[in-house]
Chain A
Amino acid sequence: MSGNRGPRRARAEAFGAIFQLERPRALVFVDRTMARRRGVSAEMAKDLWRDPDADGDLGKTPLSAPLEAHLQLTNHCAVGCKGCYTGASPTPAAGEWGLEQWKRAVDELAAMGVFHLALGGGESATLPWLGDIARHARARGLIPNLTTSGLYGLDALLPIAGLFGQINVSMDGLGQTYAAVRGVDGFSDADAALIKLRKKKREIGINVVVTRKNFADLDALFAYARQRRLNEVELLRFKPSGRGAAAHRTLAPTDAQNRALWPVIAAAVKKHRMRARADCSLTPMIAHHEPDPEMLARLAVYGCTGGDFLVGVKASGQVAACSFAAPPRKRPSAHDLADYWQQDGAFGAFRQWKSTPEPCRSCRYFSLCRGGCKAVSAHLAGDPRAPDPECPRVIDFARAKGDRRSTLLPIVR
Chain B
Amino acid sequence: MLAVKLGMNPNSSSLGVDVTFLLFGAAAVSLLTPVVAALLRFRRPPTDER
Contacts and interface: CB of A to CB of B under 8 A. Distances in A.
B22 A280 contact: no
A164 interface: yes
Interface string B34-50: 00110111011111111
B9 to A, nearest CB: 6
Contacts of A12: 50
Contacts of B16: 234, 236, 277-280
Contacts of A278: 16-17, 19
A23 B40 CA distance: 10
A234 B44 CA distance: 31
A236 B11 contact: yes
Nearest to A141: B49
A119 B12 CA distance: 6
B17 A46 contact: no
A295 B26 CA distance: 6
Contacts of B23: 266, 269-270
B45 A39 contact: yes
Contacts of A269: 20, 23
A360 interface: no
For this complex, into which size category does the number of interface residues on chain A fall? 35 or more
B49 A286 contact: no
A25 B40 contact: no
A165 B9 CA distance: 9
B13 A300 contact: no
A237 B14 contact: yes
A300 B17 contact: yes
Contacts of B13: 70, 85, 120, 147, 236, 239, 279, 322-324
Given A56-B2, A70-B13, A145-B10, A299 B22 contact: yes
A144 to B, nearest CB: 9
Contact of B9 (A9, A24, A26, A145): A145
Contacts of A56: 2
A171 to B, nearest CB: 12
Contacts of A301: 17, 19, 22
B2 to A, nearest CB: 4
Interface of B: 1-23, 25-26, 29, 32-33, 36-37, 39-41, 43-50
Given A145-B8, A275-B7, 5 more contacts: A2-B49, A11-B49, A119-B12, A276-B20, A302-B15
- In the A-B complex, list the 4 residue pairs whose CB atoms are closest, starting with the nearest: A39-B45, A120-B12, A10-B46, A145-B10
28 contacts: A9-B46, A23-B39, A27-B4, A29-B1, A29-B2, A30-B2, A34-B40, A38-B46, A44-B46, A44-B50, A58-B3, A68-B15, A113-B50, A147-B13, A166-B9, A167-B10, A207-B10, A232-B7, A265-B19, A275-B18, A275-B20, A276-B18, A277-B18, A278-B17, A286-B22, A299-B6, A299-B22, A299-B29
Interface of A: 1-3, 5, 8-12, 15-16, 19, 21, 23-31, 34, 38-40, 44-46, 56, 58, 67-68, 70-72, 85, 113, 116, 118-121, 143, 145-147, 164-168, 203, 205, 207, 232, 234, 236-237, 239, 265-266, 269-270, 275-281, 286, 291-292, 294-302, 305, 309-310, 312, 322-324
